[in-house]
Amino acid sequence: MILSIRKAVKILDLIADSNGGLSIKEINGITKFNQSTIHHILATLMNEDMVKKEDRKYLIGKKVLKYASNYLNHLSIYKISYPIIKQLLNEFNENIYMTMLDGNEFIPIITKESSHSVKPTRISNDKLNAHATAIGKILLSSYSKEDLLAFFQRFDKFEKYTKNTLNKLDDILTELEKVKENKFALDLEESEYGINCIAVPIFNYNKDIIASIGISIPTQRFTDTTIAIILPSLKVAAEKISNELGYNY
């Protein structure tokens, strides 16, 4: 345990529970922490927008609201999505993944596995292989061209996982434009031999892509009609979730 962090959290808790904020003297009276220590902790928290100062009182800052908002978003999208994804599992009995976009981070929210003995064993939520996965393509399609180029500049080269993997920047950008237009993405043995995936976007009330649902199917069960059978149900599920989040189709 790091004592300085525990002290900072204690101070944040006191400020959050206060009515109108607290002064350094008031915090000292409650915690018995050295006033110089309190001053330095508050200065650091102010620099990070975790607290603000008004009339010698310290109040909760705007960054705390960001964390609270993210937490509530994660909580609400999970509660809304879980029963809908469970229905998809019952309907198709194939692995289903839901990944959320949080800033530049890909955060796995839900994973449901099929009862088949043959099924995918690797979850594709890594940004390093986003260009080769259906879910990754959906999330990347939400980026502006400038943000995409900034994102891709971090890679010296794009890994070619199979012969089907797109590993040239122009080809990847063209693919993402197609994904944005069609509102679905495919991974046809691009990230792993023997595995295919279909993914669709989930939107919030601002019409932003905030997550993606993908269904993975082994090649031995992936027929010429698989996409036509699964995609409509997958889109309906995403629309239900998006509507609950305030998106109006």
Distance CA 221, CA 207 (A): 34
CB 220 within 8 Å of CB 118? yes
Nearest to 184 by CA among 229, 214, 221: 214
CATH of domain 3-60: 1.10.10.10
Evaluate whether 3-60 and 71-244 have a shared fold: no
Given its phi and psi angles, is residue 197 left (phi above 0), alpha (psi -120 to 50 degrees) or beta? beta
Q: Which residues contact 104 (CB under 8 A, 6 or more apart)?
A: 127, 151
Find where tokens 């922490």 sit: 33
The domains of the chain are located at: 3-60, 71-244
Nearest to 52 by CA among 13, 27, 15: 15
- Quick one: 35 exposed, middle or buried, by C-beta within 10 A (0-12, 13-18, 19+)? exposed
CATH class of 71-244: alpha beta
Q: What's the whole-model pTM score?
A: 0.71
Distance CA 52, CA 60 (A): 6
pLDDT of the chain, 249 residues: tens digit per residue: 789 999 999 999 999 988 889 999 999 999 999 999 999 999 999 999 999 999 899 999 988 877 876 776 677 888 899 999 999 999 999 999 999 987 777 888 899 999 987 666 555 556 778 999 999 999 999 998 888 888 888 777 788 999 999 999 999 999 999 999 999 999 999 999 999 999 999 999 889 999 999 999 999 999 999 999 999 999 999 999 999 988 886
- Quick one: 169 exposed, middle or buried, by C-beta within 10 A (0-12, 13-18, 19+)? middle
